[in-house]
Amino acid sequence: MATIDTILSETRVFAPSEAFRKQATVSGMDAYKALCAKAESDYEGFWGALAKEHISWHKPFSNVLDETKAPFYRWFYDGEMNVSYNCLDRHLADKSNKTALIFEADDGKVTKVTYQDLYHRVCQFANALKAQGVAKGDRVIIYMPMSIEAVVAMQACARIGGIHSVVFGGFSAKSLHERIIDAGAKLVITADEGMRGGKAVALKSAVDDAIGMGGCDCVEKVVVYKRTGGNVHWDAQRDQWWHEAIIGQADTCEPVWVNAEDPLFILYTSGSTGKPKGVQHSSAGFLLGAILSMKWVFDHKADDVYWCTADVGWITGHTYVAYGPLAMGGTEVIFEGVPTYPDAGRFWKLIQDHKVTTFYTAPTAIRSLIKLGSDLPKQYDLSSLRLLGTVGEPINPEAWMWYYETVGQGHCPIVDTWWQTETGSNMIAPLPGAVPTKPGSCTLPLPGIIADIVDEQGGPIEKGQGGILVIKRPFPSQLRTLWGDPERYKNTYFPAELGGKMYLAGDSAHRDKDGYFWIMGRIDDVLNVSGHRLGTMEIESALVANPLVAEAAVVGKPHDIKGESVVAFVVLKGQRPTGDAAREVVAQLREWVGKEIGPIAKPDEIRFGDNLPKTRSGKIMRRLLRSIAKGEEITSDTSTLENPAILEQLKETVK
Ligand code: WT7
């Protein structure tokens, strides 16, 4: 992979500027090392003190960490608090008129919301949810466009102890259906349509379709935010407009005090089987991770304008849109649209217009914007920026350098943040006033995060060698379990081979002579396409569900912009198609996967064979398929193959 070759030979180092270091919350390498040392010498004392300092507790905790039922860890478990209280109420005394949200719609319309306004909106909607029958512990599916209302909906759930599960608006009705059932949701919150790049995206109709697929008797109500006013089908018994649901509801609402360990949300993510995993996060531990990373990694300051471009449908949009910036009492930008509409200068214009200081986006967005106009940032005033971040996938040094020089104008540190849906907040990332950065490396773990690289038995590896990435001690923001599937939680993340207590991240990595981490990629059957996580098995199951398909194998292939692209090898029930017929089936199957999972999962390439390369015991040889997809010469021994002739067929692409 191009990225890996270039990062292996990367030697540039960028120390924080004197000016940045001076003002930073954690200033200088010694300060960073002191924090790490503190965590190592008294692990519980370290986390306990931070939780006391940064979270407003309704009932203080007296115990920090319970490991008796490892790997089902509990943190601060006799404390009571409320996440929404921590994001809103506690700022009202001195920040009620401060702007909390700057929302920019697809068409450029800007709406600003102060902390006082946001508090009232959240309270009013929380009361509306209660009136619809939502109580503590009930699950609420949120299938919304990027909007003020999406944040209000999440915060309102948190306020009343409801457990939200946000489903990305780009997922299909079928995916939504699966998540509604798995979560046993009582209520679904959606919008009539979203607006992206000047085009309406139907959301309510996907909810109708999902519920129409059956088995969703758990759903009592659907609350619909009117975004576009487009036509929607209406079920008078079940559907309720957002603007009507809040009529007559008080704009104050006493938070429901929850236990530190009560779930705040479930977020589904892909794994190595066909079934997505419902990652369950806690309230206090999750919030602490969000706050500490805002402070340490984003060096958050009172006058910052923070902008994380992630959709609330992903973990990044939870931690760094819906919760982290608000817990800090900060001002943040929320953007409805896409980076390329009306043109590829949109991000840069937003930064200029809202005087963004901290900008956090994905390498794939950076790479596509370089391609669409590497000089475009120069046409905008980006002087407000002081810190840049990346997340979701490895960043190639070339893109890093462009980001640093052209966007950050050589004076903004870049925080390359490694973490996952499961870890809840940044795990390995530079503290920008302390840790020198290297293009392509996420650098060093946050204080208190005991990350390491081990061999397959959990044993040590030599410095400089690659291995599997683990986190050796429990940490507050980690997932607590997989919703409804504790066994899968244990087996996936704390496998017995590693002793049952080490968190297995699922990535491979290596460390250089300075101890810096360089992420190499996933070790499981998970692809990272444009920073989105997709399971190869999920796509395969979608393909074989099509009546034309007998068998399918999906692999990733390096892609300049998306990081990875999806290549599917398909055996049809009928004859192997060629020419126009093949093109026709490719179009049909892509459409099909879009409907089964969502447009992000559509294979970029589909190839047909009379069979797939298998060992004599019938195992598909994915290693070979990956080589074929890349166009590599197959040099390895293929004599164990049942059917070597098949390889020639699979080299043929459908053009
Ligand atoms: C996987 C997690 C974390 C929020 C977005 C993705 C990859 C994530 C980096 C990074 C290299 C990264 C890993 C990880 N990843 N950040 N800075 N450098 N790889 O969350 O969907 O749970 O995916 O994304 O492979 O395991 P996710």
Residue 482 within any structural domain of the chain:
no
The dihedral through the CA atoms of 66, 69, 74, 77 has a sign that is: negative
Q: What residues contact 249, with CB distance under 8 A and at least 6 apart?
A: 124, 125, 127, 128, 131
| Closest atom, ligand 1, to C-alpha of 418 | 17
- Give 478 Cα–ligand 1 centroid separation in angstroms: 14
542 domain-assigned: yes
Rounded Cα distance between 453 and 209, Å, is 45
pLDDT of residue 642: 74
Report the relative pairing of strands 563-572 and 549-559 from DSSP bridges. antiparallel
Mean pLDDT within 224-232: 98
| High-pLDDT (> 70) share of the chain, % | 99
Ligand 1, pocket-test mutation among 533, 534, 538, 562, most atoms within 8 A of CB: 533
Residue 450: CB atoms within 10 A of its CB come to 17
Residue 56 burial by Cβ neighbours in a 10 Å radius (0-12, 13-18, 19+): exposed
pLDDT in tens, 322-375: 999 999 999 999 999 999 999 999 999 999 999 999 999 999 999 999 999 999
The pLDDT assigned to 160 comes to 98
DSSP class of 638: -
pLDDT, tens digit, 9 for 90 and up, residues 105-149: 999 999 999 999 999 999 999 999 999 999 999 999 999 999 999
Ligand 1 centroid–CA 1 distance in Å is: 17
Is residue 624 domain-resident? yes
Tell me: the pLDDT tens digits for 518-547?
A: 999 999 889 999 989 999 999 999 999 999
258 assigned to some structural domain: no
Task: Give the residue, out of 437, 528, 534, with the most ligand 1 atoms within 8 A of its beta carbon, to mutate for a pocket test.
Answer: 528
> 512 lies in a domain?
no
Note whether residue 496 is domain-resident: no
Q: Supply the ipTM of this predicted assembly.
A: 0.99
**C-beta 268 within 6 A of ligand 1:** no
pLDDT at 227 over 50: yes
Residue 1 pLDDT grade (very low, low, confident, very high; cuts 50, 70, 90): very low
Provide the 3-class DSSP secondary structure of residue 111. Answer: strand
566 lines ligand 1 (CB under 6 A): no
Residues in a beta bridge with 139: 163
Q: Which domain holds residue 548?
A: 530-651
Give nearest CA residue, ligand 1 atom 8: 392
- Distance from the CA of 293 to the center of ligand 1, in angstroms? 16
What does the pLDDT look like over 6-39, one tens digit per residue?
677 788 999 999 999 999 999 999 999 999 999 9
pLDDT of residue 5: 59
Per-residue pLDDT, averaged over 364-388, amounts to: 96
Rounded to the nearest whole angstrom, what is the distance from the C-alpha of residue 578 to the centroid of ligand 1? 38
483 marked as part of a ligand binding site: no
Say if residue 17 is exposed, middle or buried (CB neighbours under 10 Å; 0-12, 13-18, 19+): middle
CA distances from 596 to 56, 178, 540, 590 (A): 43, 10, 11, 10
Residue 561 lies in a domain: yes
pLDDT of residue 286: 99
Give the number of domains in the chain.
Answer: 1
> Over 50: is that where the pLDDT of 2 sits?
no
Q: How many CB atoms neighbour CB 303 within 10 A?
A: 9
Residue 287 has pLDDT above 50, yes or no: yes
Query: Is the pLDDT at 3 greater than 80, yes or no?
Result: no
How far is ligand 1, taken at its centre, from the CA of residue 110, in Å? 31
Half-sphere exposure of 481 (CA within 13 A, CB side): 13
Mean pLDDT across the chain = 96
549 is in an annotated binding site: yes
Residue 312: its pLDDT value, please?
98
Instruction: Identify the pLDDT of residue 232.
Output: 98
Residue 636's CATH number: 3.30.300.30
Query: Is 639 inside any structural domain?
Result: yes
pTM over 0.80: yes
Q: What percent of the chain has pLDDT over 90?
A: 92
Please, is 618 exposed, middle or buried when counting C-beta atoms within 10 Å of its C-beta (0-12, 13-18, 19+)?
exposed
Q: Residue 9's pLDDT is what?
A: 77
Q: Mean per-residue pLDDT for 295-299?
A: 98
Radius of gyration of the chain from its Cα atoms, rounded to whole angstroms: 24
Are the beta carbons of 405 and 382 closer than 8 angstroms? Answer: no
Calpha distance 214→206 (Å, rounded)? 13
Residue 194 assigned ligand-binding role: no
Structure tokens at 369: 């914007």
- pLDDT confidence of residue 4: 57
Q: Is-contact 555 526, C-beta < 8 A? A: no
Pick the atom of ligand 1 nearest to 519's CA: 11
Q: Does the pLDDT of residue 637 top 90, yes or no?
A: no
